[in-house]
Chain A
Amino acid sequence: MHIPDGFLNTATSAATWVAAAGGLAYGTRRLTAEIEEHQAPLLGVTAAFIFAAQMMNFTVAGGTSGHLLGGTLAAILLGPWAGMVVITAVLAVQALVFQDGGLLALGANVLNMAVVGVLVAGVTYRLLRKLLGERPWAQSAAAFGSAWLSVVIASLLAAVELGLSGASPWGLVLPAMLGVHALIGIGEGIITLAALALVRVARPDLLRISTPTAEQEAVS
């Protein structure tokens, strides 16, 4: 759901830039305070994988496609603050190098997918883990649920920005964006689970160690 330039009016673009910058400034401060020595390569590899996975559009219904946003994967592997920075890096390169998502709209895209998308994923994942306890499927269910919700909330925010900009009437744009992204969110959940399964097979220590960190970071 990379918003191109032209969809948003000036006021909405400016407001989203301010909000995205504020969120990023806070996230960067937290990341700087908490980052550990081993995490830098994990940031790089996670960013690279999410970029690659975002190229893999999958068909959902009626000639429409979606692709991974990766906010949940980043939040679980890296914690929300590093996750925010990593998704922002992906979005910035997509806008600057690949002309995917507008330059003026980059503030909105960062706000929707990097700041809010990752925070919603991190908080939901933590809540679901707490709620589901030690059941063997708890981690997978929490990852799927937070992946779905983070995509739907990001699309809600995009719809609000489109509504504020007068791109389309509220009564049309809100249900349409939520409806299609409720489907795309299922794809997000499936790919997130597959990626986590791969990590679990290859480097289970990565998940065991970084998951509680992500959870602690999400609350504080």
Chain B
Amino acid sequence: MSRIPRTVWIVALLVAVVVTFFSPLASSHPDGLERVAEDQAFIDTAQDAPFEVVPDYVFPGIANEAVATIVAGVLGVLIVGGLGYGLGRLARGRHSAA
């Protein structure tokens, strides 16, 4: 494949960031597993996490929940994007070394 210019990747990352701008519009209904757990009465066996960083995709300390959700989403996109890129570089580095 021809080398893809860096600007294309930056634009693609921005598309992912823009998707998170719509996250406050997402359905707040329980998801498929939560629905089954509620219907079959084992939802209460769920345990809270031992620590909380950005629980439920709402960035703590921001009064406006829509804004807090978007901030959480942008943060997640950057962390996950960086991690994916880093793992790719790592795998490529080990490929060359092998």
**Bound CA–CA A48/B75 (angstroms):** 10
Q: Quick check: A47 and B81 within 8 Å, CB to CB? A: yes
A contact residues around B68 at 8 Å (CB): none
Q: Which residue of A has the minimal Cβ distance to B33?
A: A1
Q: Number of contact residues on B: which range applies?
A: 35 or more
Q: Quick check: A93 and B27 within 8 Å, CB to CB? A: no
Q: Quick check: B47 and A5 within 8 Å, CB to CB? A: yes
Q: Quick check: A35 and B49 within 8 Å, CB to CB? A: no
- With contacts A45-B13, A52-B16, A55-B73 taken as known, whether A7 is within 8 angstroms of B46 at the C-beta atoms is yes
**Bound CA–CA A65/B35 (angstroms):** 9
Q: Quick check: B26 and A55 within 8 Å, CB to CB? A: yes
A121 sits at the interface (CB 8 A)? no
Q: Quick check: A97 and B91 within 8 Å, CB to CB? A: no
**Bound CA–CA A62/B36 (angstroms):** 12
Q: Quick check: B53 and A65 within 8 Å, CB to CB? A: no
B contact residues around A33 at 8 Å (CB): 95, 98
Interface residues of A in 52-68 (CB under 8 A from B): 52-53, 55-60, 62-67
Q: Give A107-133 as 1s and 0s: 1 = Cβ < 8 Å from B's Cβ atoms.
A: 000000000000000000000000000
A53, A89, A184: the one contacting B32 at CB < 8 Å is A184
Interface residues of B in 48-98 (CB under 8 A from A): 49-50, 52-57, 69, 72-73, 75-89, 91-92, 94-95, 98
* Shortest distance between the CB of A131 and any CB in chain B (Å): 27
B54, B84, B88: the one contacting A48 at CB < 8 Å is B84
Query: Is chain B's binding surface mostly helix, strand, loop or mixed?
Result: helix
Query: Is chain A's binding surface mostly helix, strand, loop or mixed?
Result: helix
A49 sits at the interface (CB 8 A)? yes
Interface residues of A in 32-58 (CB under 8 A from B): 32-53, 55-58
B contact residues around A40 at 8 Å (CB): 85, 88-89, 91-92
B6, B17, B35, B55: the one contacting A98 at CB < 8 Å is B55
Q: Quick check: A48 and B13 within 8 Å, CB to CB? A: yes
A23 sits at the interface (CB 8 A)? no
Q: Quick check: B76 and A93 within 8 Å, CB to CB? A: yes
B contact residues around A168 at 8 Å (CB): 36-37, 40, 42
Residues in A lying within 8 Å of B, measured CB to CB:
1-7, 28, 31-53, 55-60, 62-67, 82, 85-86, 89-90, 93-94, 96-100, 102-103, 155, 158, 162, 167-168, 172-173, 176-177, 180-181, 183-184, 198, 202-203, 205-206, 209-210
